């Protein structure tokens, strides 16, 4: 999937190798940032991305596995767990409107 309009985003999945650790921290941060938007944020192992996810966030090193597990989802890879520009762009698009691109 090439992109999704931010108004169509209802669920973001933070996917990681085991579903714990740094991804929990990022998911918690995103929940706070998106509290009043109606967007749900969950974290899961990269091989267990749920079918109702709209956007999948994962470390760039896991991007190929995430694409294989959820080929029809918008995938936003990032390099660092806190303060990554890709995550900031996603939050801004949801809050201000726009399209989120894979």
Catalytic entry in 16, 39, 49, 63: 16
Residue 58 a catalytic site member: no
Q: Give the angle subtended at the CA of 15 by the CAs of 58 and 22, to the nearest 5°.
A: 80
Provide the annotated active-site residues: 16
């Amino acid at each position: 999937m090439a992109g999704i309009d931010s108004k169509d985003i209802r669920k973001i999945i933070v996917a990681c190798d085991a579903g714990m650790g740094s991804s929990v921290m990022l998911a918690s941060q995103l929940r706070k940032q998106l509290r009043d938007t109606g967007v749900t944020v969950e974290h899961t192992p990269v091989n267990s991305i749920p079918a109702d996810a709209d956007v999948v966030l994962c470390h760039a090193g896991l991007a190929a596995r995430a694409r294989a597990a959820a080929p029809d989802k918008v995938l936003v890879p990032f390099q660092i767990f806190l303060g990554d520009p890709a995550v900031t762009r996603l939050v801004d698009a949801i809050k201000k409107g726009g399209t989120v691109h894979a």
